[in-house]
Structure 1
Amino acid sequence: MSQIQRNPRSTLHALIPYGKGTSEVESLVSYFCRLAASHSVSTLVLSRTIAEHFEQIVAAGFDWHERQIAGIRESAFTWSAGLSALTSVQGLDRLTFLPWREVISQNGLSIVKRGQFCSACFAEDIECGRQPYFRLAWESAEVSVCSKHGQRLTRHCQHCGKDNVRHAAAFVVPGWCTHCGVPLAKAKEYQADVAIEPDELWRARQVGELLASQESITAEVSRNTYLAGITRIITELHKGHSASFARRIGIAKSTVHHWFKGDGTPTLAISMKIAAHHGTSLKQLLTGDLSDWQPPMIQKQLVLQLSSAVPKPHKTPREIDWLEIEKQLSTFLLLPTPISVLEAARRLDLEARQLYLRANKTTRQLGERWKTYLKRRQESKVIAAWPYLEVACLDLWAEGKAVTRREIVARVPEEILSPVANLLNVLKEVQAHLQRTGENENTHT
């Protein structure tokens, strides 16, 4: 009879992210800081907790805020998966730019090194009775203004005047200065000396629209689909001439050639130029959804003439049926011998991080079942070795010798002793048990 599998309790508080499905979606940096504050620990302590979960070591001088955990690199993947595993909150990769990593080059997303923020957004959070938080849009270097309040983002505290006061500290409470502790919230006011250019507002709105769509994405964004959209733009608007297209957006023709013949991918800044110069939105361009797009000039177009060389094949992103994955994970839960999350990921040809992000509950059930199994197996090995250890301890005491690891190894067969973990701790328990037994016998006598 199979046992009912219960959802394991989360190790960390299951905080609900703010702004999901909107242009004001919370960044993973903000979520991490709020999580540390909710546990009353430093950001370094929480960093070590996440690292230990993935069996990694955090150096004493580790600067977590330099790791671009809200970007599109491996660190964002690892941190979002780790936080999902420890909090039981699924889909924390949607608090990063990871959904767009197939269509933005690894070095093509500039993340601000010094945390910027909109003081009016913080003031609005407090007014709405909400804890202030950092928006994901603020992490992008392409965003320099708040599209909602129409004011420039800042890195300075209006009270102490210090720079980089948003989150670069051991203890962070989002919305408060990490240097002087004064709230960073400030109602919007007219700034006559700070001019906001129309293109700055346009870029901020485009990034906001892109982030708002992340929550509703059901399939991986495809690089091939993106390049197919660029091909259509070149074909219909530039008569198939990639050189004309390159001049239009101010890049070299060889760069365009590298996209199609090599493994290059446009940067976010170049993608925004393509969208701005060809009458489409950034979201439509990156998703390859140009069904409603029309070239500014309607005329007979030429087919793009490509080189006769065989193009380098590009790996098509795998379409993952998560309902089927859930069924297979549930099957793994019923196996007579439990398996680890890593083994389950290997059998499904996935990464454990993906399982924590998309099938959080079942994955954590697998992990808990595996831990319980290891504990029971270790206990059985200790039980098997216990009589041998008792005899060895009694013999050593009778000979007037101390119980040491070397003496025990010399007296107990290797096949009995080698499976026992933490031998010294087990020996302490054996000796304590023998002493209690001896005391009881003396009392009865």
Structure 2
Amino acid sequence: MNPMLSNPRSELHALQPFGEGTGEVESLLSYFCRLAVSHSVSTLALSRSIAQRFEHKVTPNFDWHQRQFAGIRESAITWSAALSALTAVQGLDRLTFLPWQDVISQNGLSIVTRGQFCPACLADDLAQGREPYFRLAWESAEVRVCARHGSSLTTQCSHCGKDNIRHAAAYVVPGWCSHCGEFLGKTSSAAGMTDPASRWVARQIGELVAVQQVLETTPTRNKLINAITHLITELDHGQSAAFARRIGVAKSTVHHWLKGEGTPTLEASLKIAAQCGASLMQLLTGNLSDWERPQADQQLVLSLPQPTPRARAAQRELDWGDLERKLQEFLLLPTPISVLEAGRRLNVEARQLYLRANMTTRQLGERWKAYLRRRQVEHVVNAWPYLEQACIDIWAEGKAVTRREVAARVPAPILAPLTNLLLILKDVQSHLMKPDSEPGGEK
């Protein structure tokens, strides 16, 4: 088998996410915690290792659980792509809300800061022989109850009473308290049933999470705005101010959606769905073909001319079959290229390549790294005679071998390509100090 075309081994365990294709799919944060447990390392150590592996700047007070792994911001795509690259598991962005990033404003989806969970769900996991895990739906601050059990989500351990014990620790095993170690599936007698509105919200977001696993195309802002415009026309005769009053927002907010570049928050989209008799999924996907008006309206509607909307650039549809073929062609280039260069040539983010064409992208990466290693060996071989002579001359002058002394004696084009120059100089000096070695490397 051609090693270039083989599937490179993953650097981290290729764990499969739980609950795929359902409204109870695992969150990326839970997946990350299970990955740390699988490697018997702390979540902090794993997060720092991944950040350094992908050359992200890590501050001294870096705290992994403050990253919004499951949201729609830059952090979510960065960490989902990094984990896909290291585990060889494709599509880990489906463990986040990223599929909806074009139809929910960037600051419009709040992720809980104090990890919440449903004890009954964790108890079911254990009873059915599954490994307990945290659901993606629990990451949304809009969800306060369990859609399946109807009980309130909690952030407290029923055994020790500590709050925020789901993931705020260095070592986290999903399903067990990070403070006292007790199982979090022990339900509290105080847990009661919740109001219908909260359960409706939980069901809507659960449906959204389930649908995003099988989306054929990414939801677009244009379809969302067209759906909102249709609702305004059907329910409020095209009057955006009346529609704003209907859903309880300022009329300037609705105007910003329709005439500007604004996008509704998740909370606003839930209000629209609730007041207009549509589901959240229908609204965000822009598919109102099955929608019916919640009540008949006999008022006559005048056909008034509508202002021509400002043209917006059409969203680019990516043909991943064609992109896969082009990536395969890159594998056959005489001179390897990096994943970043491949993304530049295809006008696609490298992170998306890891998420949608995982194996071929990692083959490109391995080929590039092997090429860099070969080049470095060539540079060292080329520089070795110069470094040997420089060391001999420096010793003859009674000086210590330092980077500055070597740079004064070796041409800059010879030194520039070398990485880890000090380690190479140690090897050169060790070779020269062998009793049976001569300056030319001959015995």
User: For 2:30 and 2:146, how far apart are their aligned partners in 1?
Assistant: 17
**Structure 2 CA distance, aligned partners of 1:62 and 1:129?**
35
Report Cα offsets for 1:267-306 as digits up to 9, x if no partner.
1111111111111111111101111112131657747857
Equivalents in 1 of 2:97, 2:220: separation in Å?
15
The corresponding residue for 2:418 is 420
Q: CA deviation at 1:416?
A: 2.4
Cross-structure match for 2:23? 23
User: Gaps spanning 5+ residues in structure 2: where?
Assistant: none
Aligned equivalents of 1:341 and 1:303: distance in 2?
A: 57
Separation (CA, whole Å) in 2 of partners of 1:268 and 1:262 = 18
On the 8 A contact 1:339/1:370 being kept in 2, the answer is yes
Q: What SS class does the counterpart of residue 367 from structure 2 fall into?
A: helix
For 2:324 and 2:116, the matched residues in 1 are separated by: 40
Residue of structure 2 in register with 1:72 after alignment: 72
Corresponding residue for 2:404? 406
The answer to whether the 8 A contact 2:4-2:367 is kept is no
Pairing 1:140–2:124 present? no
Q: 1:217 aligns with which of 215, 219, 234?
A: 215
The answer for the alignment partner of 1:230 in structure 2 is 228
Matches of 1:301 and 1:138 in 2, distance apart?
Answer: 45
* CA distance in 2: counterparts of 1:208 and 1:263, whole angstroms: 28
| Per-residue CA distance 1:217-251 (angstroms, 9 max, x = gap) | 12111110011111111111222221221111111
Q: What stretches of structure 1 move > 6 A for 4+ residues in a row?
A: none
Deviation at 1:15, TM superposition (A): 0.9
Structure 1 position 35, deviation (Å): 1.0
Point out the more displaced range, 412-421 or 135-144. Answer: 412-421
TM-score, normalised to structure 2, is: 0.93
Residues 231 and 304 of structure 1, relative CA distance in 2, 3 Å threshold = farther
Q: Please give the alpha-carbon distance, in whole angstroms, between the structure 1 residues aligned to 2:434 and 2:88.
A: 44
Cα distance in 2 for residues equivalent to 1:103 and 1:396 = 66
Who is 2:40 aligned against? 40
In the alignment, residue 275 of structure 1 is paired with which amino acid?
A: A
| C-alpha displacement of 1:313 | 3.9
Matched residue, 2:161: 161
CA contact (8 A) 1:236 1:302 kept: no
Between the aligned residues of both structures, percent identity stands at 64
- Number of the residue aligned with 2:274: 276
Q: In the alignment, which residue of structure 1 is the partner of 2:388? A: 390
1:113 matches 2:113: yes
User: Once the two structures are superposed, what CA deviation does each residue of 1:50-91 show, in whole Å capped at 9, x if it has no partner?
Assistant: 211321122222222222211111111111111111111111
Residue 196 (structure 1) aligns with: 194
The answer (yes or no) to whether the contact 1:48–1:57 under 8 Å persists in 2 is no
C-alpha offsets along residues 365-398 of structure 1, whole Å, 9 cap, x if unaligned?
1111111111111110111111222233334445
* Map of 2:356 onto structure 1: 358
In structure 2, the CA distance between the partners of 1:303 and 1:407, relative to structure 1 (3 Å rule), is farther
Q: Distance in 1 between matches of 2:199 and 2:158?
A: 23
Hey, what's the Cα distance between the residues in 2 that align with 1:259 and 1:47? 37
Aligned partner of 1:293 in structure 2 is 291
Cα deviations by residue, 1:320-370 (Å, 9 ceiling, x for unpaired) = 011111111111111001111111111111111111111111111111111
Q: 1:381: which partner in 2?
A: 379
How much is the aligned-residue C-alpha RMSD, in angstroms?
A: 2.3
Q: Report if the CA contact (8 A) 2:432-2:438 is conserved.
A: no
**Match of 1:256?**
254
Structure 2: distance between partners of 1:141 and 1:409: 58
Q: Which residue of 2 aligns with 1:245?
A: 243
SS of the aligned residue for 1:151 comes to coil
- TM-score, normalisation: structure 1: 0.93
Look up the match of 1:180: 180
Structure 1 residues 236 and 301 mapped into 2: Cα distance closer, same or farther (>3 Å)? farther
